[in-house]
């Protein structure tokens, strides 16, 4: 089985790729730019998700070498903390360019390949942010809401063609990396007394204390892609309970839920 993992230069993408290689999968990963000191157990290809030609060339490269692509796991992701007032339109546009339009370009490029095969699986990585619109995270959570809606529509569109679409919904994962940096930052427009800084600290704390690891998420993805009948959504950890609460709870309950998640930061 040939698997393409986008956004695999680190984090979950690298962990998932290594796990699948040990299970006998043929794995390719993508990164925005070549990284000379990156050591990986599988080939890393250059893909700039904002460039349709780059996306198409990467997909074509895998098809020319392997003849097919059975699974695409979209781990491409950008994240920042900032209120609606603090984040600039350009910052929000950049996040959407990766988290929504980038994933859209990848899906559109691989679908003709999977149609010719008569089968295939697309796994899009959402998060708790796809369930709860958290304060100070409007750009990120709204992008995840959009990703979920797009993925759900694609799921229905592809059902007649034997192509599965799966939305993974993990919570923050405990990873061996700095609490903040290129993967998570506060917007430049956030003042020194902004709640955004406290939200960043809260997220760093939640990540450090999380019981969910990339290895556990990778194993769950493996289980899902091996299933003959695949679910549309796979909530993990707290996302399972929040999925149920969102369906039936009044707004006052959801307000208290959000306060609890962010620690009234």
**pLDDT at residue 242, as a whole number:** 77
The side-by-side arrangement of strands in the sheet containing 163-169 is 44-46, 26-31, 2-6, 71-74, 120-125, 163-169, 233-235
Residue 251 lies inside a defined structural domain of this protein: no
Tell me whether residue 109 is in a domain. Answer: yes
Q: How far is CA 173 from CA 45, 123, 126, 162, in A?
A: 25, 18, 13, 32
Q: Are 236 and 217 in contact (CB under 8 A)?
A: yes
- Supply the CATH number for residue 86's domain: 3.40.50.720
Please determine, for residue 265, whether its predicted confidence score (pLDDT) is greater than 50.
no
Whether 259 is in a domain gets the answer no
Does 51 map to a domain? yes
24 within a domain of the structure (yes/no) = yes
Q: State pLDDT tens for residues 101-113.
A: 999 999 999 999 9
Integer Rg of the chain from CA = 18
- Asked whether residue 248 is domain-assigned, the answer is no
Whole-number pLDDT of residue 116:
97
Residue 87, domain extent? 2-239
pLDDT in tens, 34-65: 766 677 899 999 999 999 999 999 999 999 99
Residue 265 within a domain: no
Number of domains in the chain: 1
In-domain check, residue 44: yes
């Amino acid at each position: 089985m040939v698997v393409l993992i986008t956004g695999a230069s680190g984090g979950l993408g690298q962990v998932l790729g290594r796990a699948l290689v040990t299970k006998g999968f043929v794995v390719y990963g993508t990164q925005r730019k070549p990284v000379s000191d990156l050591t990986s157990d599988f080939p890393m290809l250059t893909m700039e998700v904002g460039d349709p030609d780059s996306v198409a060339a990467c997909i074509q490269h895998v098809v020319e070498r392997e003849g097919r692509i059975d699974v695409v796991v979209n781990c491409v992701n950008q994240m920042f903390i900032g209120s609606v007032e603090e984040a600039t339109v350009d910052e929000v546009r950049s996040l959407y360019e990766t988290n929504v339009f980038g994933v859209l370009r990848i899906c559109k490029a691989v679908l003709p390949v999977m149609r010719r095969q008569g089968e295939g699986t697309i796994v899009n990585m959402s998060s708790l942010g796809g369930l709860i619109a958290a304060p100070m995270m409007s750009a990120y959570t709204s992008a995840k809401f959009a990703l979920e809606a797009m993925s759900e529509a694609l799921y229905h569109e592809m059902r007649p063609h034997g192509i599965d679409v799966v939305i993974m919904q993990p919570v923050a994962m405990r990873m061996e990396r700095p609490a903040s940096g290129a993967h998570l930052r506060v917007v430049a427009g956030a003042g020194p007394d902004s709640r955004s800084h406290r939200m960043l600290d809260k997220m760093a704390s939640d990540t450090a204390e999380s019981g969910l690891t990339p290895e556990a998420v990778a194993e769950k993805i493996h289980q899902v892609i091996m299933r003959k009948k695949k679910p549309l959504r796979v909530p993990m950890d707290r996302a399972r309970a929040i999925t149920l609460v969102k369906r039936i709870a009044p707004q006052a309950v959801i307000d208290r839920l959000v306060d609890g998640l962010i620690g009234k930061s």
